[in-house]
């Protein structure tokens, strides 16, 4: 291993902050504070109609970000709001959508990133998800993610991150994911102003070299969205 990779997961709340204003620059400033190489975003598009991306592509390009082609509609960046951004040392090999069973529109995304972040180099498979508010549907969605990852070509180590909407420590969805991957115990991330809920979680393959992980707390992050971002550093 000769490099490190910082992966952030962030429910950006359509870039609407605590002041009620939509300010995309704040979201990108928070990602810069983290030093993220990859960003798995939730609520990156408007929810209804044309599902327009809330982070302008010109603004992303100016910060060095390249979005994965996941949008089902031309104006969207993500799949049901789930988007993947890469920059710097992160090289996107492929990305795909995961359709989830749901009463309300929900989805997850999967992306393979190339680099020297795991022993021997190769790929890291990233999964970003935003699960349902209903516990019954969350459990079904977690099982679907596990099934889709198991059927995906190749077998790179996986890192699963996102807003799992689970307040309980023993919820069925979290238990299902923890049965396949180890959960990294992080501090609460929601609501951003005074976090009490561990809604944003991280699950990692046992072979992944996790150097560090945490919840990013700053004055900017507390005001940019209703969630704080979580992050993982792989490699050295």
| 24-74 pLDDT, tens digit each | 999 999 999 999 999 999 999 987 666 799 999 999 999 999 999 998 788
Give the pLDDT confidence score for residue 169 in this predicted structure.
78
pLDDT over 90 at 228, yes or no:
yes
Interior/surface letters 11-24, b for 16+ CB within 10 angstroms, e for the rest: bbbbbbbeeeeeeb
CA pair distance 171, 40, nearest whole angstrom: 23
Please give the average per-residue pLDDT across 111-120, as a whole number.
80
| 117-175 pLDDT, tens digit each | 766 668 999 999 999 988 889 999 999 999 999 999 998 999 999 999 998 878 999 99
CA pair distance 160, 176, nearest whole angstrom: 12
Element holding 176 (H helix, E strand): helix 172-180
Give the pLDDT confidence score for residue 49 in this predicted structure.
62
Give the pLDDT confidence score for residue 120 in this predicted structure.
63
- pLDDT interval class at 226 (50, 70, 90): very high
pLDDT over 50 at 1, yes or no:
no
**Domains of the chain, start order:** 4-235 (3.60.10.10)
- What sign does the CA torsion over 115, 144, 52, 216 have? negative
Give the pLDDT confidence score for residue 115 in this predicted structure.
78
**At a CB cut-off of 8 Å and minimum separation 6, what does 151 contact?**
none
Asked if 9 and 229 count as a contact pair (C-beta separation under 8 A), the reply is yes
- pLDDT interval class at 190 (50, 70, 90): very high
pLDDT over 80 at 101, yes or no:
yes
Give the pLDDT confidence score for residue 122 in this predicted structure.
81
| 62-87 pLDDT, tens digit each | 999 999 999 878 889 999 999 999 99
Give the pLDDT confidence score for residue 68 in this predicted structure.
97
């Amino acid at each position: 291993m000769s490099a490190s990779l910082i992966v952030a997961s962030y429910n950006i709340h359509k870039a609407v902050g605590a002041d009620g204003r939509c300010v995309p620059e704040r979201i990108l400033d928070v990602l810069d504070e983290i030093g993220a190489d990859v960003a798995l975003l939730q609520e990156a598009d408007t929810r209804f109609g044309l599902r327009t991306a809330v982070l302008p592509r010109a603004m992303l390009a100016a910060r060095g970000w390249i979005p994965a082609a996941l949008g089902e509609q031309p104006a969207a960046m993500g799949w049901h709001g789930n988007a993947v951004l890469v920059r710097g040392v992160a090289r996107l090999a492929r990305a795909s959508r995961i359709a989830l069973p749901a009463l309300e529109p929900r989805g997850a995304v999967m992306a393979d990133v190339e680099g020297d972040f795991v022993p021997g180099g190769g790929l890291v498979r990233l999964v970003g998800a935003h699960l349902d508010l209903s516990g019954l549907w969350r459990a079904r969605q977690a099982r679907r993610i596990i099934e889709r990852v198991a059927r995906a070509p190749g077998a790179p180590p996986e890192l699963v991150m996102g807003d799992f909407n689970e307040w309980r420590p023993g919820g069925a969805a979290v238990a299902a994911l923890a049965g396949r991957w180890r959960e990294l115990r992080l501090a609460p991330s929601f609501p951003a102003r005074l976090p009490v809920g561990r809604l944003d979680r991280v699950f990692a393959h046992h072979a992944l070299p996790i150097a560090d992980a945490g919840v990013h707390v700053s004055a900017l992050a507390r005001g940019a969205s209703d969630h704080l971002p979580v992050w993982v550093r792989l490699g050295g």
